[in-house]
Chains A and B, each alone.
Chain A
Amino acid sequence: MTEFNDSVVHTPPGRMRVWSFRPFTWVLLPVLAILFQVYVPRFFSFLSYLELPLLVTVYFSIMRRQPPAGALTGCLIGLAQDSLTFIPLGMYGIVKTVIGYSAASVSLRFDVENSGLRYVMSFGFFIAHQVLFWALSHMLLGAHDDFKLPQTLIAAFLNGIIALPLFQVFDKLKSEAQ
């Protein structure tokens, strides 16, 4: 898209608001999301389908509306996730970097405070996350597992549902950037 096209696109002023968070929030939310994945599925195995670090990545990215910041957020959260697994460092990092960048890019075009769009984004980015991870595992690590599409679709549906109230809670922590 050229600069001319950019200027033609009608963007209401409310849509391009950029939100910021306190440094404490930047650290706490990803840590809590990762701890949730570490601890909670032990007792509620059905909650292992929840990819909270991904949802946090998407939320921060769409609220900041800065693709580099989104990519960096995804990278750090992904690397933290990687460090608690036994797979090589960078697998989740790369995937979440791409997701963070894409989410921030999408947020530049759409009203990301719309619940419907938030659901669609969570659903779509979850599937993209799983597909990317599966593809990377095959290409870089030589994994031979099959991609489980039905399970991924169900998990994406559940993640999208969880994302709506979760993002509402996260909205309480945001403040408009100067």
Chain B
Amino acid sequence: MDGLFSRYRNLSALLLLLAGQLILLAWQIKSNGETRLLRVWAVTAVTPMARGMELTRDGLGGFFARWFMAGKLEQDNAQLRRQTAQLEIKNQLLQEQMQQSGRAQALLEFRSQLPSKSLPSRIIGSAPGVQSGVFILDRGSLEGVKRGMAVVTGEGIVGQVVASYPTASLMMLASSQGFAAGVTSQKSRTRGLLKGEGGTCHIFGIRNEQPVDKDEWFYTSGEDRIFPRGLRVGQARAVKDGVDGKEIEVRPIALDGDFAEVLILLDAVHGQIPELATPSNPDVQILDAPAPDQNGPMTDPASPATPGEAPSAMRTDADRIRDHYKRVVESQNFQVGTTPYRAPDFNRQPAAAPPALAPATGAVPDNQAVPVKPSPEPASAAKVPGLISQPSQRPKPPAQDRP
């Protein structure tokens, strides 16, 4: 046996190393165990170096910028009068400051408008590997960053935190292999799944019949539980019908710009997907929406006016039934939820609505058999969840409603 090992010494060493790493890999994959210690050491060792290099780059860049700027100003001073030169110096310094702070300022403004709690962060490096698509952020678990958190800029989504270490975290770009997010189109609200494919992204899960236009905007849908709803993703660059559904190519808009500074969403809050603004046509005149009528609000003639509540033209049958029950409860001075084993008498009709609004709006008092079309038994307490019906007092439904 010893002779065999010594004869194939090289091969044995190779096999030993490969076997060791395969066992390590298998252990990680099978047990889903994280070799956290080694990674923490590596990232913690690299982070100060990357930070140092970043500071050095900033310092050198600033030094050379100031140096060149000073030389230019000296020339200007020689040519122009003293007062003008001083003003130019001030102006240029201000412009420089604005350029430097512009990006950060935009991010801060976006942060103030964002409903989610966020943490500004800076990219200080990229994970090794040919086009790995993973970047190192300078914020880690000590500042509350956790794996799975969304990373955004004012432009839109950038990526997702895939690992968090005490002093740094790793962010996977939205265009990387393995990235996925739920998205919704702005115009038709078609839902799909955005997947990164290295460089570009494609949206899957949209059938060919569903309408999606080229250049249509996509927003996060919030269904992935990673990105809150309403964050901008990008425009559909190419849309065509495919075998398994529509083939939609999207380039995340945030990746087109500079995303050296990003926001990590610590406590994401869902937002709204903005409505599509209709482009104005200069050849067509469209009036502004009318102001509310001062004499009386415009209400649906079929909807009863509820005291203390502004009537709306967009009332549904469910709203009217809810208002009816509310008035029934209020007319009996019943405190819902305070008295156990008791329920108000829903068969007793409430007092009529204030007559002041009825003539003006044409509203019908609710005790006069409101014609509610979709529901054949609108006043039946047994149809309302959470209410106990009383068979002895329950009115029989009209005969024409029975089959």
Contact = CB atoms under 8 A, between A and B. Distances in A.
Interface of A: 34-35, 37-39, 41-42, 48-51, 53, 67-68, 71-72, 75, 79-81, 83-86, 88-94, 97-98, 101, 105, 130, 140-141, 143, 145, 148, 155
Contact of A83 (B14, B39, B132, B135): B39
B271 interface: no
A130 B130 CA distance: 9
A49 B131 CA distance: 7
A85 B42 CA distance: 10
A75 B21 contact: yes
26 contacts: A37-B126, A38-B46, A38-B128, A48-B126, A48-B130, A53-B128, A68-B9, A71-B13, A71-B14, A71-B17, A72-B17, A75-B21, A79-B38, A80-B42, A83-B35, A83-B42, A85-B128, A85-B170, A86-B163, A89-B25, A89-B38, A90-B24, A90-B25, A97-B14, A97-B18, A140-B29
| Chain A interface SS verdict (over half) | helix
Contact of A98 (B18, B162, B198): B18
User: For this complex, into which size category does the number of interface residues on chain B fall?
Assistant: 35 or more
B318 interface: no
Given A75-B17, A83-B43, A86-B127, 9 more contacts: A35-B50, A39-B53, A39-B124, A68-B13, A68-B14, A79-B38, A89-B28, A90-B28, A101-B14
Contacts of A105: 10
Interface of B: 9-10, 13-14, 17-18, 21-22, 24-25, 28-29, 35, 38-39, 41-43, 46, 49-50, 53, 123-132, 134-136, 162-163, 170, 172, 177-178, 197-198, 260
Given A91-B25, A101-B14, A81 B38 contact: no
A101 B13 CA distance: 9
A39 B198 contact: no
Given A38-B50, A89-B28, A140-B29, A81 B128 contact: yes
A101 B125 CA distance: 30
Given A38-B46, A38-B127, A85 B14 contact: no
B128 A34 contact: yes
Nearest to B127: A85
Given A37-B126, A42-B126, A85-B127, A90 B22 contact: yes
Contacts of B22: 90, 94
A38 B124 CA distance: 8
B133 to A, nearest CB: 9
Nearest to A126: B130
A86 B134 contact: yes
